[in-house]
Structure 1
Amino acid sequence: MQVQKIQQYKVQRQKAGRLAGLDTIRGITLLSMMLYHTCWDLVFLFGKKIPGYSGLGGYVWQQSICWTFILLAGFCWSLGHHHLKRGLIVFGSGILITFVTLLAMPESRVIFGVLTLIGSCMLLLIPMEKLLLKLRTEIGLVGSFLLFLLFRNVNTGYLGFENWNILKLPDGFYENLFTTYLGFPQKGFFSADYFSLLPWFFLFLTGFYLYQLVQKNHMMEKLFSWRVPGFDVIGRHSLLIYLLHQPAVFGISWMLFQI
């Protein structure tokens, strides 16, 4: 019954059009990311000093961007259609970024970046959706977020969150590129933008269940029918802008500080 209601709501949303509030949030976050990456280029590629960027403030800024993008991607999954096509496009875009950075900027290469992650999550949810919807929404929401917090430090060899390490994981988990993709990076691995399945898939699932909760309480229109002109347009074209922004930012920075 719940799955049927969700499918009916998808049809209603497709007829009614996009939710401008979601596009606006995505657009604002995208602009924040572009500004963050501009600062990153200036600091790490051009040797400029930006007070606070390399400290806690910069880290919180970076985390706010990726948390929002991944949570929003999970939230919007149930609103979309053609999941296989969209998932392959996003995943393929991530692979494209990997090849381009390996060729053009190997010292700042991106392997298993955020687009590879989001594309993977979108594809994984296709066979998992019906099973996930059998779980009570509130339990799925809280459980997914708690698992995200528990696995947050898995990339550094522990279960735990930030400064709290609960359990050290076996070194044998961290073997090769496949384990790196899963969340257990092999020795010597480097990526300027690394988002593995663990822990981030659980944050994607948190967004997925958050959508179910909002929809179940009939609050979708109330929460997301607003818009901020301009930002919603940016949000509607987020993938294209994401792919183009970094070479554009680098090119402008290079012209300003190297020529």
Structure 2
Amino acid sequence: MRNRYTSLDILRAFALISMIIFHAVWDLVYIFGIDLQWFKSDAGEIWQQSILWTFVLLSGFCFNLGKKRLKRAITVIICAAIITIVTYIFMPENFIIFGVLCFLGTAMLITIPVDKNLKKIHPYAGLIFSFINFILTKDIMFRKISIFGTELCKIPDSLYQNELTAFFGFPHYGFFSGDYVPFIPWIFLFFCGYFLYKIFKRKDLLKHLSFVSCRPLEFIGRNTLYIYMIHQPLIYGVLFLIFR
């Protein structure tokens, strides 16, 4: 049996712990009214993006390692649907649709049938092409193509119609989600992770991903999805008891 790449589990665990702390601070600020101006600044945005980038890159990287890809993708999508239903019923003001789990499950599902074609692409070319497209489409939700904040062209309003277009990255006016990770641009970052794995494999670097060991963090990394599903209710419950 192939040994797990423990470094990936540990990195995933750090990202999850960071996300849990981030959500705890978010609840403090936006639900319990604690004034933390730094969290509303670029610092909070950078923190949130660092977590998301890590999860998406890891998911793309680890897609190449999984054997039960279809089962995994469907499981993640079902978990995303549960979050959507629960937030719609109990927290409509923070309703979540097309969040990170929805994206990750969809990205895995879409990659399964195109995997054979992706393998034909040189990994360096695939990585560069994917990253360029990620940067160019990062602001499409704001109706523009840009590069590092500089607008290159506007996107026609006709593409921003409904929930379906919002799923792909073209949200209509009035669209809201407490956690919004659209298919575009994030699928390109997912592919960056996918091609990074190919580079690691080509350069015989995968063996170095098993040199680090930390059992508690490895456990967290292996059970990220389950912890993700329960962490927010637990955080809210604890904070409610403290600040009620």
Q: Which residue of 2 aligns with 1:41?
A: 27
Deviation at 1:187, TM superposition (A): 1.5
Residue of structure 1 equivalent to 2:127: 141
TM-score normalized with structure 2 length = 0.98
1:62 match: 48
Task: Tell me if structure 1 keeps the 8 A contact 2:6–2:209.
Answer: no
Aligned counterpart, 1:247: 233
Q: Tell me, in whole angstroms, the C-alpha distance in 2 between the residues paired with 1:123 and 1:223.
A: 26
In 1, the alpha carbon distance for the partners of 2:210 and 2:92 equals 41
Q: Within 1, Cα distance between the matches of 2:77 and 2:204?
A: 32
Per the TM alignment, residue 162 of structure 1 is displaced from its structure 2 partner at its CA by 5.1
Which runs of 5 or more structure 1 residues have no equivalent in the other structure? 1-14
1:153–1:162 Cα contact (<8 Å) kept: no
Which AA in structure 2 matches 1:194?
Y
Please name the residue that 2:174 is paired with.
Answer: 188
2:58, 2:193 within 8 Å by CA — same for their partners in 1? yes
In the TM superposition, residue 82 of structure 1 has moved relative to its aligned partner by 1.1
- The answer for the alignment partner of 2:183 in structure 1 is 197
Contact 1:154 1:183 (C-alpha < 8 Å) held by counterparts: yes
Inter-partner Cα distance in structure 2 for 1:166 and 1:254: 46
Give the aligned partner of residue 172 of structure 1. Answer: 158
Deviation at 1:159, TM superposition (A): 1.0
Secondary structure of the residue aligned to 1:16 is coil
CA distance in 1: counterparts of 2:77 and 2:180, whole angstroms? 14
Residue pair 2:8, 2:209 contacting (<8 A) in 1 also: no
The alpha carbon displacement at 1:227 in A equals: 2.3
Q: 1:234 aligns with which of 217, 220, 223?
A: 220
Alignment partner of 1:217 is 2:200? no
Please say if residues 158 and 169 of structure 1, whose CA atoms lie closer than 8 Å, have aligned partners that are also in contact. Answer: yes
Q: Distance in 2 between matches of 1:26 and 1:179?
A: 30
Indicate if the aligned counterparts of 2:76 and 2:104 stay in contact, CA closer than 8 A: yes
Q: Which residue of 1 aligns with 2:14?
A: 28
Q: Give me the identity figure in percent.
A: 39
Residue 83 of structure 2 corresponds to residue 97 of structure 1: yes
Q: Secondary structure at the match of 1:52?
A: helix
Deviates more, 1:225-234 or 1:214-223: 225-234
Across the aligned residues of Structure 1 and Structure 2, the Cα RMSD in angstroms comes to 1.0
- Local SS of the residue matching 1:100: helix
Match of 2:66, SS? coil
- Answer whether contact 2:6 2:218 (CA < 8 A) is retained: yes
Q: Which AA in structure 1 matches 2:158? A: G
- Return the offset for 1:239: 0.1
Indicate the residue corresponding to 1:8 in structure 2: none
1: CA distance, partners of 2:131 / 2:96: 26
Corresponding letter in the other structure for 2:193: G
Deviations 1:145-191 (A, max 9, x none): 11000100011111124522211100000001110100000110000
In structure 2, C-alpha distance between the alignment counterparts of 1:106 and 1:184, rounded to whole Å: 22
Partner Cα distance (1:44, 1:21) in 2: 34
Moved over 6 A (4+): none
SS at match of 1:160: strand
The 1-side partners of 2:39 and 2:106 are apart by 30
Q: Which amino acid aligns with 1:242?
A: Y
With normalisation by structure 1, the TM-score equals 0.92
Matched, 1:110 2:96: yes
Task: Tell me, yes or no, if the aligned pair for 2:126 and 2:195 is still in contact at 8 Å.
Answer: yes
| Aligned residues between the structures | 244
Q: Work out the CA distance in 2 between the residues paired with 1:18 and 1:227.
A: 11
